[in-house]
Structure 1
Amino acid sequence: MSLSFKAFTESFPLAREFRISRGAKTQADVITVLVSDGHYYGWGESVPYARYNESIKSVLAQLEDIKGAFASVCDTEDLLTLLPAGSARNALDAALWDLKAKVKGKSVASLANLYTVQRCYTAQTLSIDTPEGMKNQALEIKNAPLIKIKLDEHQVLERLAAIHEASPQSRLIVDANEGWQVAMLNELLPDMAKLGVALIEQPVPAEADEELAGLNSPVILCADESCHVSADIERLAKYYQAVNIKLDKTGGLTEAIRAYHAAKEHNLQIMIGCMVGSSLAMAPAYGLCADVQFVDLDGPLLVAQDRADGFTFDQGRMIQPEPFLWGLPGQYGQQGLARLWNELPD
């Protein structure tokens, strides 16, 4: 069986400006990949990320460079040597898993020996704003079980206090996106614990991880920008109590499963995270959420208009509807993907 693929870009306007410590964005620019064996079609989505020296242009170039070699690919394992970890490999990996589900007549969860996700609550993300603005964002989501808060180095406790006042029952995740120093973290930790913060993502720059050694934190510290593939886990276990597994970092579900098992082996808590994208980008990661401590797959809630037949959300609960856009057996969506394939240039 010879496989081929086509890649193109799409943009999803966001529901509101999304601001983190490194800057702001108003749309999600994604790479969409279609894979075909000449009869069935699979698709996947990834989000190039500038923090990892990726752009739409560079990822498309990566994909173009391996088109010839891709014809001999038989399974997602083959991609691990064909492409490095990153969003190019993620999009192809997702499309291959989706194709495999169609060809084998089994769900991706079954093919990958993953637990069936019965119930999943995702964090809902607040972007950086004034304390009052972030309080209003928290009020809009009405005591969500889990709230993720983007913060820079300014007004940290003022912002957290405003959010805690608006949503006192919510557990809070703070994401500093490498924006703090260890001295600042040490100073903030006692008050953050009192304000309901359950986990802090990547408080310090990735190259400063070693400075966290021996820190007795009352809040779980989670590696994000430092954690890419399974080989990173053993080192990170010296400094963190949790890792954030994102498929755009691992280069797809195939390597994400390895990272998941490595984290379990090192007694680390696990967060399944995402970049800002549509339900198509979240779908492969969702399969890992049955037995993890934190889920952050609210990308579809951040875009103004999600893809058809994507996830639905009810007060933080993430629900996979039927029909669904990815990873299930059957002919659902095949006509639409075939039509799209024929419209795209070779």
Structure 2
Amino acid sequence: MMQMSFGAVELPLARPFAISRGTRTAVTVVRVTLTDGGFTATGECTPTAHYQESPESVCEQLELIRPQVEAGMHRDALQQALPIGSARNALDCAMWHLDAAKQGKTVWQLLDMSAPVSVITAETLSLDSLENMAKAAEVAVAGGAKLLKIKLNRDQIIEKVAAIRAAAPHTTLVVDANESWLGLDLESLFHALHEFNVAMIEQPLPAGNDKDLVRCLHPVPVCADESCHERADIAGLTDRYEMINIKLDKCGGLTEALAMTAEARRLGLRIMVGCMLGSSIAMEAALPVAVQAERVDLDGPIWLAQDAEPALRYEHGEVWV
């Protein structure tokens, strides 16, 4: 008989993590464990207040659906039983792993895909002073970082990027404004960032208030994050974005993430895979989408004081599978 257990786990960070909306020193994840016939699988999600989620609300959703899950609900039915978001993500990923275990396979084999040896992932530079961000870039490059994701707000945008580019002259740079550039001269800003060979700009304007992107030139590809949660969002973004950022916590799990990947390709949008802060449990679940993406940002575990086991290995700017 299927059994489901779940609970919130607080994960202290090794150092503060700051974006335009605030700073965190710990993250609370929710882990779901499914057990059936001696096989066990776990999924993890990170509830996000910006999306009106909390560990308590996620656990409430999971408790409500427990009878259906323990009665044998398949992940196809789950897509209609829970809305997109963190709760469905943790349960969907646990279901994928349980199905694989019961069939004596890996998730990669269920998908008829080959697991990579490693995937290049961004290393995030948390929002900080110009001097501290440049120093963090130096440290990351010395450790072998190949892709840096720069968290920015409205302050010293070009100055910070210039300092980071000087510290990382040969490293690919992408920037993430987390919706903070409303009211700025975007076209001039985009051209200035292009001069520093920035490879991508993520979510410069607030979700639902991004129509100005239609009217300005994009010398650098612009990627939708907060503006893109699920497959149904994608068609409405093609006039203002070149890329979408797929996150399992936003879309509700691997099932929807794979569908988003196919839809983005159909519509000619490029793909990035991102993450919330979380452990290797959550990052490993996103890898089948990451191998199909142009940009990957799955560095959540490197911010943790202690990762979950079995931990993925992060080394030389790559996550090793």
TM over 0.5: yes
Bigger Cα displacement from structure 2, 286-295 vs 171-180: 286-295
User: What residue is the counterpart of 1:336 in the other structure?
Assistant: none
Amino acid at match of 1:98: H
Aligned position for 1:249: 250
Unaligned runs of 5+ in 1: 321-346
1: distance between equivalents of 2:113 and 2:74?
17
User: CA offset at residue 309 of structure 1?
Assistant: 2.1
Counterpart of 1:184 in structure 2 is 185
Is the Cα contact below 8 Å between 2:223 and 2:245 reproduced in 1? yes
* 1:115 shift after superposition: 4.7
Aligned residues: 319
CA–CA distance in structure 1, aligned partners of residues 165 and 25 of structure 2: 26
Residue 288 of structure 1 aligns to a residue whose secondary structure is helix
CA distance in 2, matches of 1:266, 1:280: 31
In structure 2, the residue matched to 1:44 is 43
Given residue 158 of structure 1, which amino acid in structure 2 is its aligned partner?
E
Amino acid at match of 1:89: R
In the alignment, is residue 28 of structure 1 matched against residue 27 of structure 2?
yes
* Distance apart, 1:290 and its partner CA: 1.9
2:274 corresponds to 1:278 = no
Letter in 1 for 2:86: S
- Equivalent pair of 1:47/1:248 in contact (CA under 8 Å): yes
Q: Judging changes above 3 Å, is the alpha-carbon distance between structure 1 residues 182 and 267 closer, same or farther for their aligned structure 2 residues?
A: farther
Cα gap change, 1:239 to 1:113, in 2 (>3 Å): farther
Q: Is the 8 A contact 2:187 2:217 kept in 1?
A: no
The answer to whether the 8 A contact 2:151-2:175 is kept is yes
Contact 1:115 1:290 in 2 (8 A): no
* Contact 1:114–1:288 (8 Å) recurs in 2: no
SS in 2 for 1:141: helix
Q: Which residue of 2 aligns with 1:200?
A: 201
RMSD, aligned α-carbons: 1.3
Match of residue 343 from structure 1: none
Please tell me whether the aligned partners of residues 115 and 288 of structure 1 are also in contact (alpha carbons under 8 angstroms): no
Distance 1:310 1:75 in 2: 28
What is the identity, as a one-letter code, of the residue corresponding to 2:304? V
Q: Distance in 2 between matches of 1:307 and 1:71?
A: 26
Q: In structure 1, what residue type is equivalent to 2:192? A: D
Cα distance in 2 between the residues matched to 1:172 and 1:129? 17
| Identical aligned residues as a percent | 43
Is the CA contact 1:250–1:256 (under 8 Å) kept in the aligned structure 2? Answer: yes
TM-score w.r.t. structure 1 length? 0.89
Report the CA distance between 1:71 and its aligned residue. Answer: 2.6
What is aligned with 1:53? 52
User: Scaled by the length of structure 2, what TM-score is found?
Assistant: 0.96
What SS does structure 1 have at the residue aligned with 2:229? coil
Counterpart of 1:160 in structure 2 is: 161
**What SS does the aligned partner of 1:66 have?**
helix
**Unpaired runs of at least 5, structure 2:** none
Cα–Cα, structure 1 residues 229 and 115, in superposed 2: closer, same or farther, change >3 Å? Answer: farther
State the shift of 1:16 in Å: 0.6
Secondary structure of the structure 1 residue equivalent to 2:201: strand
CA–CA distance in 1 between the matches of 2:233 and 2:195?
31
Once residues 120 and 10 of structure 2 are traced to their aligned partners in structure 1, the CA distance between those partners, rounded to angstroms, is 26
Which residue is 2:225 aligned to?
224
**Runs of 4+, deviation exceeding 4 Å:** none
Aligned-partner Cα distance in 2 for 1:182–1:202:
14
Answer yes or no: is the 8 Å Cα contact 2:117–2:320 preserved in 1: no
How much has 1:77 moved relative to structure 2? 1.1
